[in-house]
Amino acid sequence: MISPICLFVFSFIFSCSYASHVQDFCVADYAAPQGPAGYSCKDPAKVTVDDFVHSGLGVPANTSNRYKFGFTSAFSFNFSGLNGLGVSLGRTDVEVGGVVPIHSHPGATELVVIEEGSSIIGGFIASNNKVYQKPLNKGDTMVLPQGLYHFFVNQGKTPAIIYAAFSSESPTVQLLDTSLFKNGLASVIIAKTTLLDVAQVHKIKKLFGGTN
């Protein structure tokens, strides 16, 4: 136990020597150890407003892929000020006719708002296999409860921009396709545990460079 003589009243009339006890935030220090609750905190004396501001969501993501969609994240791994604060943002761009492939966020709920576009089908599948889906238009919001499969289909006539808020500062993304097909998981195991035909598995593995 250290000897505390820095009384509160001093902290607002005089200056106080406990510079490091500001606990309002814990800006990520990417060079220090990480723990289950997030990154270590940067020395508060070195924190600047730039730790709390992030640019990048104003630019469309690259959509030149099979699904015609792209995603840009503002998560704690690239936005240091979010560390430990339990919220993050992302931007999804979906071309006309494009989709956001089926995926889930283990342990995070997603809440989207349609920023541009119309007739964008948003959908998720509950654990009892029931599908909840609806066409969304500009200004609509939809919640995708944590850990459940969801997807979007842009059936409108213009590209879609979707902002997504997450209930975690470091949500992860598990894509059905890349989880199954972009690695070395044996095709026979995939086939047995999904009932997909081996030929189908091989075909999609080729698209993603999967092996075995």
Q: What are phi and psi of 86, to 5 degrees?
A: 75, 25
Please report whether residue 205 would count as binding a copy of itself according to CB under 8 A: no
CA-based torsion, 30, 36, 41, 47: positive or negative: positive
Distance in Å, CB of 3 to a copy of itself, minimum: 8
Please report whether residue 160 would count as binding a copy of itself according to CB under 8 A: no
Distance in Å, CB of 20 to a copy of itself, minimum: 8
Give the binding-site size for a copy of itself (rule: CB under 8 A). Answer: 148
Q: Is 103 annotated as a binding residue?
A: yes
Burial of 165 by CB count in 10 Å (0-12 exposed, 13-18 middle, 19+ buried)?
middle
Residues 6+ apart with CB under 8 A from 148: 104, 124, 125, 126, 127
List C-alpha distances in Å: 191 to 62, 109, 185, 187, 197: 32, 30, 10, 6, 6
Strands 88-94, 69-74: pairing kind = antiparallel
Q: Is 105 annotated as a binding residue?
A: yes
Instruction: Identify which of residues 32 and 157 has a Cβ nearer to a copy of itself in the complex.
Output: 32
Site for a copy of itself in 57-86 (CB under 8 A): 57-59, 61-63, 65-67, 69-75, 77-86
Site for a copy of itself in 106-125 (CB under 8 A): 106-107, 109-111, 113-115, 121-125
Site for a copy of itself in 37-56 (CB under 8 A): 37-41, 48-56
Of positions 119, 158, 167, 202, contacts a copy of itself by CB under 8 A:
167
Residue with tokens 């091989």: 202
Binding site residue list for oxalate: 105, 110
Binding site residue list: 103, 105, 110, 150
